[in-house]
Structure 1
């Protein structure tokens, strides 16, 4: 497969470069919010250029979107229902999804949960939480929930989805274990052996995706140890891969 990008996801997907001929994976673009409109426009031009090349060469385009477009009242996190993103980043990705679909290119749109693992950028959620917990103070938004997926599991699911031959589909790629951020913090404090003051930071929406379609496409995904409590093992694996894992508190995961 052709892999466009050099960031966190692209590095972990590189071992699959010899697989999936005829597929172009766009693993580059706007990785977070908030960012200026100019960054969004650069990604839009990149998507347009990639779509044009894929159409010319008869290739399938894999576009990485986000579950951040979920969270509006009544939203069930389903791929084939209308969504109304409450955050600019979610709306930006939804607009790019529309661009891809309307172009007529063969495509696979993967809406990703929060993928974590070795080498993730320092601005990502887990990296930020580790720093703030160790500093002794962390802001928490009421209602915040996140679906964590370890990058090794993401790569496995990505490979299996492409092997199904799915085309012109939108699929949530997530664990299905959408955990409260307060529970995530509780477990991280346990593993780091620290306690931090929690500051109320208003209310936010929960970005919880459905994994029903993923499980229909890849039935073995339901048997990989995902489910209630998965987020704890994902965090453990993330922390164990940090430069100083010996600093973690010993003890079994509850």
Structure 2
């Protein structure tokens, strides 16, 4: 087996590439390096620079590397940006996926793992979000992920491709400092950034119907997420057919205030948080039921939120020297 990982030099992609390579899988990474970093990939993993929108390149890569399975992570993923640039998100996230699936079908590749998101659910009023919870995405980003799932399943049925769609919840942490998230789009690096600049962390709304009034989320360590991809790939390698869609989370809710307090403990910076108005569209609670992933993939999360924050902080310090003295 040889797996092509699109977006393989990204924050999540590099973790997936390393986890699969360390488990003995042959891996090739494809990344346009618009946000990916080549040095994240260890020696021995080839990197092809290019986009999933480039059909001719994809055909050449699939043939030259004798690809037998694909893990598709390449996508734009900022909710706010998707609201401002919906056509770009549909073009890159859905158009790129369609181009890739066409090349995959033509090359006779029969295994496909798709990076989806809990954003497909929108704002469901349930204690635990299961895979059969109705999907009602609230942003163009979430819409592209749901559309992507539909497309993956349809292509799978049409061309005999076995597929797994993984719906990620909130990803944090790093397996090594050099692999840490360098973007400032998720809550943990956003809090780090505020503290490093001598500013108070922000909490958007403290009047939700939750125990402490702040939003509750399910956080998953990126290393656990990478292992979920490996489990999905192994399921397909072992001959599983059809399609499978599973949540990837811990089934444990952590409030924004609890997370900010934990960041203060880890960093030693206890600047009080600033409470601001609610943001439109934020769900009071979004926590996964991960039972199906354990049953179908034999996977469950092993790392807790403290390990996520501590490992992310080590990565932040590597990329922002002197931040611990802020």
Q: TM-score, normalised by structure 1?
A: 0.84
Q: Is the 8 A contact 1:146 1:207 kept in 2?
A: yes
Partner of 1:12: 15
- Give 1:83-162 correspondences, 5 Å limit: 83-103=135-155, 104=157, 105-116=161-172, 117=174, 118-125=179-186, 126-134=188-196, 135-142=198-205, 143-162=214-233
Runs of 4+ more than 3 Å apart: 244-249
Q: Relative to structure 1, is the Cα distance of residues 87 and 144 closer, same or farther in structure 2, using a 3 angstrom cutoff?
A: farther
Superposed CA RMSD: 2.5
Q: Relative to structure 1, is the Cα distance of residues 106 and 75 closer, same or farther in structure 2, using a 3 angstrom cutoff?
A: farther
Partner of 1:45: 95
Q: Whole-Å Cα distance in 2 between the matches of residues 89 and 43 of structure 1?
A: 8
- Give 1:173-188 correspondences, 5 Å limit: 173-188=248-263
Q: Relative to structure 1, is the Cα distance of residues 87 and 73 closer, same or farther in structure 2, using a 3 angstrom cutoff?
A: farther
Q: Is the 8 A contact 1:160 1:218 kept in 2?
A: yes
Q: Is the 8 A contact 2:218 2:287 kept in 1?
A: yes
Q: Is the 8 A contact 1:147 1:208 kept in 2?
A: yes
Q: Which runs of no fewer than 5 residues in structure 2 stay unpaired? A: 27-66, 206-213
Q: Is the 8 A contact 1:79 1:172 kept in 2?
A: yes
Q: Whole-Å Cα distance in 2 between the matches of residues 107 and 95 of structure 1?
A: 15
Bigger radius of gyration: 2
Q: Which runs of no fewer than 5 residues in structure 1 stay unpaired? A: 250-254
Q: Is the 8 A contact 1:67 1:208 kept in 2?
A: no
Q: Is the 8 A contact 1:3 1:24 kept in 2?
A: yes
Q: Is the 8 A contact 2:127 2:287 kept in 1?
A: no
Q: Give the length in aligned residue pairs.
A: 244
Partner of 2:54: none
Q: Whole-Å Cα distance in 1 between the matches of residues 300 and 127 of structure 2?
A: 23
Q: TM-score, normalised by structure 2?
A: 0.67
By how many angstroms is 1:178 displaced? 2.6
